[in-house]
Copies of this chain bind each other. A is one copy, B any other.
Amino acid sequence: MVSIRKTHSDVVDAAGRLFAERGYHGTSMRALGKELGLLGSSLYSHVDSKQDLLVEVVEEGARLFETSAEDARTTQGTARDRLAALVTGHVTVVLDHVDVARTFLNEARMLDAEHRDRVLDARDHYERVFRSVLADGVRDGSFRSDIDPKTASIYILSVLNALERMTRPGH
């Protein structure tokens, strides 16, 4: 028999894939099971609920971006170096974990209020790292003095978040 027992991690990965592709509400447990060669009901050996799956995927996304930002923030060198680390880190996370990133961006609003608020906090914290590195750069002369860190961080993150859209079929 070639049947391979699936793990908790297999289920979460497949969930990220389908949530990214069809959305949380567009993904049924039966469809998720089929993606893994299982029945929908069999998933409940690995997971307590569908909502828990979304929580896990979104929190993995939060953790990935958080780690990337923390690494960049503590990078040695100028503020310009740290901004470069932030940007390449973000791109790396998105390209290496497309499905998680897409689910994190688009499906977090389907979470219950408590978890959704945690995601908003995480995003806020992430943006503040960009803003503070930009402010450092303006102060130490890395960047032009007429740059407003808040505006610039929004613009940069806008372009970075647009990366995700380009991973959809038919860019």
Contact of A162 among B106, B110, B162, B170 (CB under 8 A): B162
Answer whether residue A168 sits at the interface, using C-beta atoms and an 8 A cutoff: yes
Q: Mark A108-133, 1 if CB is under 8 A from B, else 0.
A: 01100000010010000000000000
Q: In the complex, A165→B123 CA distance in Å?
A: 12
Stretch at the interface among A67-75, A93-101, A153-161: A153-161
Instruction: Determine if B120 and A170 form an interchain contact, defined as CB atoms under 8 angstroms apart.
Output: yes
Question: For residue A105, which residue of chain B has the nearest CB?
Answer: B165
Instruction: Determine if B23 and A168 form an interchain contact, defined as CB atoms under 8 angstroms apart.
Output: no
Number of copies: 2
Answer whether residue A25 sits at the interface, using C-beta atoms and an 8 A cutoff: yes
- Number of A residues whose C-beta is below 8 Å from B? 20
Contacts A25-B25, A26-B25 given; indicate if A158 touches B168 (C-beta within 8 A).
no
Contact of A168 among B109, B117, B157 (CB under 8 A): B109
List the B side residues contacting A24 at CB < 8 Å: 23, 26
Within 8 A of B (CB), among A128-171: 154-155, 157-159, 161-162, 165, 168, 170
Q: In the complex, A162→B161 CA distance in Å?
A: 8
Instruction: Determine if A159 and B159 form an interchain contact, defined as CB atoms under 8 angstroms apart.
Output: yes
